[in-house]
Amino acid sequence: MKKTYRGSCHCGAVAFEADIDLSKGSTRCNCSFCHKNRFWMTLVDIDDVRVTKGADALTDYRQAPEGKEAFLHLTFCSRCGVRPFSRGGFLPAIGNAFYAVNVATLDLTDDERDAIPVTFVDGRRNTWAPLTEHTKNM
């Protein structure tokens, strides 16, 4: 069941609310960007995220996989550098545009965080298939 969570960047310049069903799980990816940022995401319908503070402090970085168009807006706080979420276009699995909310930026208790199922995926090879090995450092 969806619940409204609040989140923010490190310095507090950017704050947001998101309606998320964390029991549906989250994703850790090994693509170079997610791996280097230690990005832990949950996909959320674009209508379920609201920036409540600091939209003007967000900076947009776009990078396209080799041979493809840039699909994601990799947003981060221009003051502290934390990436609270990314925004993407239409995703068939969601049926709409989406946000990839950074779970680490949500105001959660340790118990809430520990209960979130995590799927590790192979973005490094662009297969996005589930990984069962080499996930310890993701």
> How many Å apart are CA 77 and CA 75, to the nearest integer?
7
For the stretch 46-99, pLDDT in tens is: 999 999 999 999 999 987 666 777 678 999 999 999 999 999 887 777 788 899
Whole-angstrom distance between the N-terminal and C-terminal Cα of the chain? 27
What's the pLDDT tens digit per position in 100-132? 999 999 999 999 999 999 999 888 887 877 877
Could you list the beta-strand ranges (E) of 1-138.
3-8, 15-20, 26-29, 40-45, 49-53, 58-61, 72-77, 85-91, 96-102, 118-121
Q: Structure pTM?
A: 0.88
CATH of domain 3-121: 2.170.150.70
